[in-house]
Structure 1
Amino acid sequence: MREETDNFVNQQVISVWVRDPRIQKNDFWHAYIDYEICLHTDSVSFTKKISRVRRRYSEFVWLRQKLQANSLLMVQLPALPPKNPFFSLNNARQITERMKGLQKFLEQILQSPLLLSDSCLHLFLQSELSVSKIEACAAGRTHYSVAQAVQRCGLRRFHSEEDLQKDLSMCCAFDTDSDSSECRDREKDLAINKAESTASLDLMGTSQEETLSCSSGST
């Protein structure tokens, strides 16, 4: 029965891309690079079939450590591109090599049915939560669920339902990356109660992670 389940999961398509590296600056001395993670899938493991988030190298390091701990060493995780003490934000070759290594890492872990059941992986790929909030949400210590965090990924802060409806109309009319099902999902947000609205605003207010020096390899 386990073998049949694994075969069914492996037959489903999970496409992931790591692309569009961008330098993020907090001040004159501190900056880092983050990358866009794009996910397209028809897998039943994912409730959201299309998503885009941005993550930095240090967050990938956290993800690997978390998945390894959660799997109780039952899965040997692939390696990340190595930390380079001489990594430079101005070296296009180094950035490209790291980006390709990060994509290869995600492609390999998404082939494991055991890892696909980990909430931390889903929140990493399909929410805008910081790693500390991912841990809290996965452990049930937040007043929003994993599903709520995923569904609200990409939605900006709204001051009123009117603002939400206006943004929804613009999205469906002009965003070529949105499909009709995603628009319907956003329409459901118009019906959420006051408590859920508060949760939505709270989870989108992610605290900025501690930035590292431009010359740091964990950038």
Structure 2
Amino acid sequence: MQEVISVWVRDPRIQKNDFWYAYIDYEICLHTNSLCFNKKISCVRRRYSEFVWLRQKLQANSLLITKLPELPPKNPFFSLNNARQITERMRGLQHFLEQIVQSTLLLSDSCLHLFLQSELSAAKMEACAGGRTSYSVRHAVQRCGFGLRRFVYDEDTDEDCNASYGSNSDSSLFPELEAGNGDPAPNGTETSAPLDVIRTNQEEPLCMSVST
């Protein structure tokens, strides 16, 4: 059987923590039959700064053996109101991931698997990959179920994937991962909506620094 790793970046949504602060995240869907992945179908949401974190970690862990593809450039004038800019960035992020998953060396990196198939924040992904959490990389991936039902419906693979979702939905196994990205759940302050619902003049924070 031919090995297939398909990855999509889609459904940009504005996330608002409060009146002043907003950013965009994107849905990343993976569908594969590769033995490199324990979970064959998954969906998570990631923001641009997390892509920056991933590229930095992959570059450091590969010891410069592999030249990584570039991310879409940081734009100081990026606007949440500009559909063209958002679409261009989303396409650039998908192209980046499509190139990454073609590398056998990079597919062996735990950071990539946590990025694609867990709901951990960047800080918790780094801690998990470094063995500094009570749960393993495999457990974090198995616990992930965000957005899977909708993805299964979209791809017309309900029977096979609903069974997979059910087997990974026991939240009592990993209480540390219960609240989304591995952090405490917000007290009703964070909201999200498709781009055609929320409009704001706030620019998206494009990068974050990660201590290594």
Alignment-derived partner of residue 200 in structure 1 = 174
Alignment-derived partner of residue 133 in structure 1 = 124
Decide whether the 8 Å contact of 1:36 with 1:55 is kept in 2: yes
Change beyond 3 A, Cα 1:95–1:121: same
Of 4, 21, 27, 2:12 maps to 21
1:143 to 2:120 alignment:
no
Q: TM-score, normalised by structure 1?
A: 0.76
Decide whether the 8 Å contact of 1:86 with 1:216 is kept in 2: no
Alignment-derived partner of residue 94 in structure 1 = 85
1:218 to 2:206 alignment:
yes
Q: TM-score, normalised by structure 2?
A: 0.78
Give me the identity figure in percent. Answer: 68
Letter in 1 for 2:206: S
1:66 to 2:42 alignment:
no
Offset at 1:28? 1.2
Letter in 2 for 1:202: E
Secondary structure of the corresponding residue to residue 79 of structure 2: coil
- Following the alignment from structure 1 to structure 2, what is the Cα–Cα distance between the partners of residues 104 and 187? 31
Q: Any stretches of 5+ residues in structure 1 without a counterpart?
A: 1-7, 157-170
1:9-57 alpha-carbon deviations (Å, 9 max, x no partner) = xx51100010000000011111000000010111110111110000000
Between the two structures, name the one with larger relative contact order (CA 8 Å, sep ≥ 6).
2
Secondary structure of the corresponding residue to residue 75 of structure 1: coil
Letter in 2 for 1:207: D
Deviating 4+ runs (over 3 angstroms):
177-190
- Listed as ranges, the matches of 1:124-203 within 5 Å are 124-154=115-145, 176=153, 179-188=158-167, 197=172, 200-203=174-177
Change beyond 3 A, Cα 1:187–1:90: closer
Offset at 1:181? 4.6
Letter in 1 for 2:5: I
Change beyond 3 A, Cα 1:187–1:29: closer
Higher-helix-fraction structure? 1
- Following the alignment from structure 2 to structure 1, what is the Cα–Cα distance between the partners of residues 12 and 167? 33
When Rg is computed on C-alpha atoms for both structures, the one with the higher figure is 1
Alignment-derived partner of residue 162 in structure 1 = none
